[in-house]
Amino acid sequence: MPEGARVVLATRNAGKVRELRQLLAGAVPGLDVDAAVVDAGAVGAPDVVEDGVTFEQNALKKARAVAAHTGLIAVADDSGLAVDVLGGAPGIFSARWSGAHGEDRANLELLLAQLADVPDAHRGAEFVCAAALAVPSTPDARGVHSIHFTHVEHGRLRGTLLRAPVGEGGFGYDPILRPTGRDETTAQLSSAEKNAISHRGHAFRALLPYLVDALAARS
């Protein structure tokens, strides 16, 4: 266990860890966020199968599993793109819409092909995120941690889907979603601009007071 680790973010995505550290910086007096917030790989947490049928179920499953494995406070998120005319799809299948997990370009191209005949006025969509917190109890006589508190918050970013990718930043479907009220796609925004309006930023900021309380209770 890394020295000073207090919160595990159930991901191996360095960008997500950096974002959570930025949110926590200054929120807990004296907290060394670089040491306190670690990813799942740093604590040897196992990969969790995301077999829930909602973003919330998947986020909670990951947070609970990592908290029970490590005995540390755990935060997890699950997110994706919900397209109006597809009834909310790709949804929880966003990362594997074309069949293979994480094939961003293939996922994006398939979605654009499926929406080719949809008029601009009906190309509404939103990025959706569920962020979950799980706080473990002290271990029992066998050293097993149970979970005594969980909480979930949600975030959304509404926009319109373009007909071709624009922008080099971000990942996934960022190059084809133009947020409502903006002239750029999310792939054209700086990291700071994106975090300020993103679905994940909204969800993490809403979860922050509960995470701060949990850290204070365990200090």
Query: Other C-beta atoms within 10 Å of 126: how many?
Result: 19
| Three-state secondary structure call for residue 82 | strand
Q: Give me the catalytic one of 39, 77, 78, 174.
A: 78
Q: Are 126 and 158 in contact (CB under 8 A)?
A: yes
Amino acid at 181: G
Q: Give dist(CA 34, CA 212) in Å, integer.
A: 16
Q: Give dist(CA 48, CA 189) in Å, integer.
A: 31
Q: Are 167 and 187 in contact (CB under 8 A)?
A: yes
Distant-in-sequence, close-in-space partners of 171: CB < 8 Å, separation ≥ 6: 104
> Is 84 known to be catalytic?
no
- The tokens describing 122, both together, are 């009906």
Stated as kind and residue range, the H or E segment containing 210 is helix 199-217
DSSP state of 123: -
Stated as kind and residue range, the H or E segment containing 7 is strand 7-9
DSSP for 12-27, written as a single string = --HHHHHHHHHHHTTT
Catalytic residues: 78
